Amino acid sequence: MFVHWLKSLFGRRSTPVPPILMRVAEPDGGAPPLLDVQTRWLPSGRTRERSLRTADGLCVLHWLPEDDVVEITVRSTRGMAVVEHHVSDSGGPVIPVQLLTSESVAASTKGRDPVSNVC
């Protein structure tokens, strides 16, 4: 039973995938101490919501087994951003994410899906 559970943690991938490391900046350039992070994993469609404390805006997300793409929505008290990340891009440098104010998001997404705010 334990072995089956352990194998399920790794999914179908033959090698482990490095986690996603993001450095998030507020609209004014400061580092947010607390973030609300919502993830939507594809192709499974699973979603997760959590609050994360950051160190200088750094936050880490680990890949779910069998999923290849994640859409990450990051919110703080002063801004938000939407980022899409592919498993093939993992293992690279830190992903810089610039949060936009709610007014900027409304203007940039008028009639469209939210845009990615990767610097």
Please give the average per-residue pLDDT across 7-30, as a whole number. Answer: 81
pLDDT score of 66: 84
CATH architecture of 2-108: Sandwich (2.60)
> pLDDT tens-digit profile of 51-79?
999 999 999 999 988 889 999 999 999 99
pTM recorded for the entire structure: 0.75
Tell me the two tokens of residue 112.
Answer: 């469209």
When pLDDT is cut at 50, 70 and 90, the band that residue 93 belongs to is confident
Band of pLDDT at residue 105, cut at 50, 70 and 90: low
Query: Can you list the pairs that 113-116 forms with residues at least 24 positions away whose Cβ atoms lie under 8 Å?
Result: 114/73, 114/82, 115/82, 116/81, 116/82, 116/83, 116/84
Mean pLDDT of 99-105: 77
Q: How far apart are CA 74 and CA 51, in angstroms?
A: 10
Confidence of residue 119 (pLDDT cuts 50, 70, 90): very low
